[in-house]
Every structure is written in structure tokens, then in C-alpha cells.
């Protein structure tokens, strides 16, 4: 069993697709084992996306991620990291396969509705960024 972190980003919350995102994960056999809504400060968004600190889009991305509430969740299942990434679709919605979350709801490469960890290492960092051990359901 593998765990990954997924986020419904501020654009996704505004569009009212929190339930739709969760439904797509659950329909694929994945389990939500932790969930909460929060509003990140700019500093918190910068910390979360620290791996992108040298990218040209870092400032704009962290402005966007702190512009409104988000829903963060831990998703568990066999091959959960890859499964969530498949359900989300490509980062750029114009390249996302039909029927994926980003193809259906994203505005552009930045306002792309959802986030999912891209490796076991990033999943570990990202889950710990938002959740304590006690907040993650076991069994």
C-alpha cells in the first residue's frame, strides 16, 4: 500500500469540484485516509513548493496557492502515486488526456485544479507538511 498527497487547489475549490475529485479517486479504488480544508499563507505555499524555488513560475504559483482555501488529502492504495497522477492528467490541461480532472476542469498550466505527489520522496515530505501521524487513519 502506498500513500500520496493530493490537493484540490484554490481554483478547484472555487469551481465546486471538491466532491468530484474525491469521487474520482474513490471510484478508482483509492481510499481517503486524511482530509482537511485550509488556507495557506504565501510563506506556507513557498515552503510547500520549495523544490520549485528557482523556477520562473515560483512567485506566481505561490500567489495562486495562497489566494483561497484548498483541500488537502492523503490518498492510499496500491500504486497510489501513479494512479492519482493518471486520474489528474498532465500538468498542462491542454496536454491532459480526455476524462482526466485537469482536462475537465483546469484553466491553464498554473491553475490546474489538483496536485498530486510525483514520487515516494515527495509524498513523504508533502504528507508531513500538512498532517501529523494522528491525523492519518490506519487499517
Virtual torsion, Cα 129, 132, 133, 138, nearest 10 deg: -90
Output the CA torsion 1→124→83→74 (10° steps).
80
Determine which one of 80, 81, 115, 117 is catalytic: 115
CA separation for the pair 37, 55 (Å, rounded): 27
Residue closer to ligand CMP by CB (options 77, 116) is 116
52 catalytic? Reply is no
Residue closer to ligand CMP (CB basis): 30 or 62? 62
What is the rounded CA–CA span in Å between residue 129 and residue 43? 13
Q: How far is the CB of 52 from ligand CMP (least distance, A)?
A: 6
C-beta of 18 vs 91, nearer to ligand CMP: 91
Binding site for ligand CMP (CB under 6 A): 52, 57, 61, 91, 109-110, 112, 115
List residues with catalytic annotation. Answer: 115
Amino acid at each position: 500500500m502506498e500513500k500520496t498527497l493530493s490537493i484540490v487547489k484554490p481554483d478547484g475549490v472555487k469551481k465546486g469540484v471538491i466532491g468530484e475529485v474525491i469521487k474520482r479517486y474513490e471510484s478508482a479504488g483509492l481510499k481517503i485516509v486524511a482530509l482537511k480544508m485550509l488556507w495557506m499563507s504565501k510563506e506556507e505555499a513557498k515552503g510547500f513548493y520549495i523544490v520549485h524555488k528557482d523556477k520562473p513560475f515560483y512567485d506566481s504559483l505561490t500567489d495562486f496557492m495562497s489566494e483561497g482555501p484548498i483541500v488537502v488529502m492523503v490518498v492510499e492504495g496500491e500504486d497510489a502515486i501513479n494512479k492519482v497522477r493518471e486520474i489528474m492528467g498532465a500538468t498542462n490541461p491542454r496536454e491532459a488526456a480526455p476524462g482526466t480532472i485537469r482536462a475537465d476542469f483546469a484553466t491553464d498550466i498554473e491553475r490546474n485544479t489538483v496536485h498530486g505527489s510525483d514520487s515516494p520522496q515527495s509524498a513523504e515530505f508533502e504528507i508531513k507538511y500538512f498532517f501529523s501521524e494522528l491525523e492519518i487513519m490506519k487499517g
